[in-house]
Amino acid sequence: MTASDLDPFWVEARENFLTKGSTSADPSACGTCRSRAQAGEPVEHDGCAQRATLFQAPDHPHYEILAGFSLEENAKLPARFHVPVFDDCGVPNAWLCAVCQEEGVVAGWPCATATKYGTQVFTPLHEAETVHEKQTVELAAYRALDLGDLDGRVSASCGIPEHPTWLRAPDDDRGCPWCRIAELERPAVEAKRAEIRQSYVELIAQAEQDRDFEGAFNVQCSLREREEQWKAEDEEAIA
Protein backbone atom coordinates (compact mmCIF):
# COMPACT_ATOMS: atom_id res chain seq x y z
CA MET A 1 0.00 0.00 0.00
CA THR A 2 1.33 3.45 -0.93
CA ALA A 3 0.45 6.92 0.33
CA SER A 4 -1.82 7.42 -2.69
CA ASP A 5 -3.97 4.49 -1.53
CA LEU A 6 -4.61 6.00 1.91
CA ASP A 7 -7.36 8.34 3.04
CA PRO A 8 -6.19 11.90 2.17
CA PHE A 9 -7.28 13.03 5.63
CA TRP A 10 -4.75 10.75 7.35
CA VAL A 11 -2.04 11.55 4.80
CA GLU A 12 -2.46 15.23 5.65
CA ALA A 13 -2.65 14.51 9.38
CA ARG A 14 0.62 12.57 9.23
CA GLU A 15 2.31 15.36 7.27
CA ASN A 16 1.15 17.95 9.81
CA PHE A 17 2.35 15.76 12.68
CA LEU A 18 5.83 15.40 11.21
CA THR A 19 6.04 19.08 10.29
CA LYS A 20 4.98 20.25 13.74
CA GLY A 21 8.01 18.70 15.43
CA SER A 22 8.68 18.00 19.09
CA THR A 23 8.53 20.60 21.85
CA SER A 24 10.69 18.43 24.14
CA ALA A 25 14.46 18.78 23.85
CA ASP A 26 16.92 15.98 24.53
CA PRO A 27 19.52 16.60 27.30
CA SER A 28 22.17 16.58 24.56
CA ALA A 29 20.29 19.16 22.45
CA CYS A 30 21.96 22.35 21.29
CA GLY A 31 21.36 25.61 23.14
CA THR A 32 19.00 26.92 20.48
CA CYS A 33 16.71 23.89 20.69
CA ARG A 34 16.77 23.84 24.51
CA SER A 35 15.74 27.48 24.56
CA ARG A 36 12.94 26.86 22.06
CA ALA A 37 11.65 23.89 24.09
CA GLN A 38 11.67 25.94 27.31
CA ALA A 39 9.55 28.52 25.49
CA GLY A 40 7.11 25.82 24.38
CA GLU A 41 8.23 25.94 20.75
CA PRO A 42 9.29 22.99 18.55
CA VAL A 43 13.00 22.19 18.44
CA GLU A 44 14.78 23.38 15.32
CA HIS A 45 16.80 20.21 14.72
CA ASP A 46 15.20 16.77 14.59
CA GLY A 47 18.28 15.25 16.22
CA CYS A 48 17.73 17.51 19.26
CA ALA A 49 14.25 16.12 20.01
CA GLN A 50 13.82 14.16 23.24
CA ARG A 51 14.48 10.48 22.64
CA ALA A 52 13.26 7.40 24.47
CA THR A 53 15.21 6.56 27.64
CA LEU A 54 16.50 3.10 28.53
CA PHE A 55 17.78 2.28 32.01
CA GLN A 56 19.23 -1.02 33.11
CA ALA A 57 17.97 -2.56 36.34
CA PRO A 58 19.84 -1.21 39.40
CA ASP A 59 21.32 -4.67 40.06
CA HIS A 60 22.22 -5.41 36.43
CA PRO A 61 25.10 -7.95 36.37
CA HIS A 62 28.51 -6.63 35.41
CA TYR A 63 30.80 -8.19 32.82
CA GLU A 64 32.59 -10.63 35.10
CA ILE A 65 29.31 -12.13 36.32
CA LEU A 66 28.52 -13.06 32.70
CA ALA A 67 31.99 -14.00 31.43
CA GLY A 68 32.84 -17.68 31.49
CA PHE A 69 29.23 -18.85 31.61
CA SER A 70 27.48 -20.43 28.65
CA LEU A 71 24.82 -18.73 26.58
CA GLU A 72 22.27 -21.17 28.00
CA GLU A 73 23.17 -20.26 31.59
CA ASN A 74 23.06 -16.51 30.94
CA ALA A 75 19.69 -16.93 29.19
CA LYS A 76 18.30 -18.19 32.52
CA LEU A 77 19.00 -14.87 34.26
CA PRO A 78 15.90 -12.91 35.40
CA ALA A 79 13.90 -11.22 32.64
CA ARG A 80 14.74 -7.69 33.88
CA PHE A 81 18.37 -8.17 32.77
CA HIS A 82 17.51 -9.01 29.13
CA VAL A 83 17.46 -5.43 27.86
CA PRO A 84 18.83 -4.25 24.49
CA VAL A 85 22.25 -2.72 23.93
CA PHE A 86 23.36 -1.30 20.60
CA ASP A 87 26.55 -2.67 19.05
CA ASP A 88 28.00 0.07 16.84
CA CYS A 89 31.33 -1.74 16.49
CA GLY A 90 30.16 -4.89 14.74
CA VAL A 91 29.43 -5.31 11.05
CA PRO A 92 26.57 -4.86 10.56
CA ASN A 93 25.52 -2.78 13.59
CA ALA A 94 22.82 -4.48 15.62
CA TRP A 95 20.74 -4.45 18.80
CA LEU A 96 21.96 -7.22 21.11
CA CYS A 97 20.81 -8.69 24.42
CA ALA A 98 22.81 -7.26 27.33
CA VAL A 99 23.30 -10.68 28.98
CA CYS A 100 22.71 -13.47 26.44
CA GLN A 101 26.32 -14.02 25.53
CA GLU A 102 29.27 -16.37 25.75
CA GLU A 103 32.79 -16.37 24.30
CA GLY A 104 32.44 -15.20 20.70
CA VAL A 105 28.62 -15.39 20.65
CA VAL A 106 25.99 -12.74 21.46
CA ALA A 107 22.23 -13.12 20.97
CA GLY A 108 20.29 -10.46 19.10
CA TRP A 109 17.48 -8.56 20.80
CA PRO A 110 14.79 -9.45 21.52
CA CYS A 111 16.40 -12.63 22.73
CA ALA A 112 14.38 -15.76 23.50
CA THR A 113 14.06 -14.80 27.18
CA ALA A 114 12.84 -11.26 26.41
CA THR A 115 10.31 -12.65 23.93
CA LYS A 116 9.09 -15.26 26.41
CA TYR A 117 8.59 -12.89 29.36
CA GLY A 118 7.62 -9.77 27.38
CA THR A 119 6.44 -7.03 29.73
CA GLN A 120 8.46 -8.43 32.64
CA VAL A 121 11.62 -7.04 31.02
CA PHE A 122 10.71 -3.37 31.55
CA THR A 123 8.80 -1.36 34.15
CA PRO A 124 5.83 0.48 32.57
CA LEU A 125 6.49 4.22 32.35
CA HIS A 126 3.43 5.23 34.40
CA GLU A 127 4.49 2.96 37.27
CA ALA A 128 8.08 4.21 37.17
CA GLU A 129 6.91 7.84 37.15
CA THR A 130 4.54 7.22 40.06
CA VAL A 131 7.29 5.66 42.17
CA HIS A 132 9.70 8.45 41.22
CA GLU A 133 7.19 11.15 42.18
CA LYS A 134 6.53 9.51 45.56
CA GLN A 135 10.25 9.20 46.27
CA THR A 136 10.87 12.81 45.24
CA VAL A 137 8.17 14.07 47.61
CA GLU A 138 9.47 11.90 50.45
CA LEU A 139 13.06 12.97 49.81
CA ALA A 140 12.06 16.64 49.88
CA ALA A 141 10.17 16.10 53.14
CA TYR A 142 13.19 14.50 54.81
CA ARG A 143 15.53 17.22 53.58
CA ALA A 144 13.16 19.88 54.92
CA LEU A 145 13.09 18.45 58.46
CA ASP A 146 13.46 21.18 61.08
CA LEU A 147 15.89 19.80 63.64
CA GLY A 148 16.30 22.95 65.71
CA ASP A 149 12.98 23.33 67.58
CA LEU A 150 12.11 20.86 70.35
CA ASP A 151 8.38 21.62 70.31
CA GLY A 152 7.57 18.51 72.35
CA ARG A 153 9.67 16.22 70.21
CA VAL A 154 12.20 13.65 71.42
CA SER A 155 15.67 12.88 70.15
CA ALA A 156 16.49 9.76 68.12
CA SER A 157 19.53 8.21 66.49
CA CYS A 158 20.27 5.31 64.17
CA GLY A 159 23.62 4.14 65.48
CA ILE A 160 25.68 5.35 62.52
CA PRO A 161 28.18 7.86 63.95
CA GLU A 162 28.13 10.00 60.80
CA HIS A 163 24.36 10.50 61.09
CA PRO A 164 23.46 13.17 63.66
CA THR A 165 20.72 12.83 66.24
CA TRP A 166 17.37 14.14 65.03
CA LEU A 167 14.12 15.21 66.66
CA ARG A 168 10.81 13.46 66.13
CA ALA A 169 7.33 13.41 67.60
CA PRO A 170 6.76 10.66 70.19
CA ASP A 171 4.38 8.84 67.83
CA ASP A 172 6.63 9.23 64.75
CA ASP A 173 8.03 5.77 64.07
CA ARG A 174 9.91 6.69 60.91
CA GLY A 175 13.55 5.66 60.74
CA CYS A 176 16.69 7.73 60.33
CA PRO A 177 16.09 10.46 57.71
CA TRP A 178 19.71 10.31 56.52
CA CYS A 179 19.47 6.56 55.97
CA ARG A 180 16.22 7.07 54.06
CA ILE A 181 17.73 9.86 51.93
CA ALA A 182 20.57 7.52 50.98
CA GLU A 183 18.02 4.82 50.12
CA LEU A 184 16.00 7.19 47.94
CA GLU A 185 19.11 8.39 46.13
CA ARG A 186 20.31 4.83 45.54
CA PRO A 187 18.57 4.30 42.14
CA ALA A 188 20.38 7.32 40.69
CA VAL A 189 23.70 6.00 42.02
CA GLU A 190 23.07 2.55 40.53
CA ALA A 191 22.01 4.06 37.20
CA LYS A 192 25.28 6.01 37.01
CA ARG A 193 27.27 2.92 37.91
CA ALA A 194 25.46 0.93 35.23
CA GLU A 195 26.34 3.60 32.67
CA ILE A 196 30.02 3.49 33.67
CA ARG A 197 29.99 -0.31 33.72
CA GLN A 198 28.52 -0.43 30.22
CA SER A 199 31.28 1.84 28.91
CA TYR A 200 33.86 -0.66 30.21
CA VAL A 201 31.99 -3.55 28.61
CA GLU A 202 31.98 -1.77 25.26
CA LEU A 203 35.71 -1.08 25.52
CA ILE A 204 36.36 -4.75 26.29
CA ALA A 205 34.23 -5.87 23.35
CA GLN A 206 36.02 -3.47 20.99
CA ALA A 207 39.44 -4.61 22.19
CA GLU A 208 38.53 -8.26 21.74
CA GLN A 209 37.18 -7.54 18.26
CA ASP A 210 40.48 -5.84 17.41
CA ARG A 211 42.25 -8.90 18.87
CA ASP A 212 43.89 -6.63 21.43
CA PHE A 213 43.59 -9.20 24.20
CA GLU A 214 46.10 -7.46 26.43
CA GLY A 215 44.10 -4.25 26.19
CA ALA A 216 40.87 -6.14 26.93
CA PHE A 217 42.52 -7.71 29.99
CA ASN A 218 43.68 -4.30 31.24
CA VAL A 219 40.16 -2.89 30.88
CA GLN A 220 38.78 -5.91 32.74
CA CYS A 221 41.24 -5.22 35.55
CA SER A 222 40.16 -1.57 35.64
CA LEU A 223 36.52 -2.64 35.79
CA ARG A 224 37.33 -5.05 38.62
CA GLU A 225 39.04 -2.25 40.55
CA ARG A 226 36.04 0.01 40.00
CA GLU A 227 33.66 -2.72 41.23
CA GLU A 228 35.83 -3.22 44.34
CA GLN A 229 35.78 0.52 44.95
CA TRP A 230 31.97 0.59 44.72
CA LYS A 231 31.74 -2.42 47.02
CA ALA A 232 33.96 -0.67 49.59
CA GLU A 233 31.84 2.48 49.36
CA ASP A 234 28.67 0.47 49.95
CA GLU A 235 30.18 -1.36 52.92
CA GLU A 236 31.37 1.92 54.41
CA ALA A 237 27.88 3.39 54.03
CA ILE A 238 26.34 0.41 55.85
CA ALA A 239 28.95 0.23 58.62
Helix (H) or strand (E) holding 231: helix 213-238
Give the residue-averaged pLDDT of 49-55: 85
**pLDDT over threshold 90, residue 21:** no
Cα–Cα distance, 197 to 212 (Å, whole number) = 20
Cα–Cα distance, 38 to 94 (Å, whole number) = 34
Residue whose C-alpha is closest to residue 233's, from 181, 182, 180, 165: 182
Cα–Cα distance, 95 to 178 (Å, whole number) = 41
Cα–Cα distance, 182 to 60 (Å, whole number) = 20
In the chain, domain spans: 3-48, 63-120, 125-238
Cα–Cα distance, 235 to 229 (Å, whole number) = 10
Span 129-171, pLDDT tens digits: 676 677 777 666 666 555 545 565 666 667 676 776 666 667 7
pLDDT averaged over every residue in the chain: 81
Are the C-beta atoms of 51 and 24 separated by less than 8 Å?
no
Span 195-238, pLDDT tens digits: 888 888 888 888 887 888 888 888 888 888 888 888 888 777 66
Span 79-96, pLDDT tens digits: 999 999 998 887 888 999
Q: Nearest 5 degrees, angle CA 96-CA 53-CA 107?
A: 10
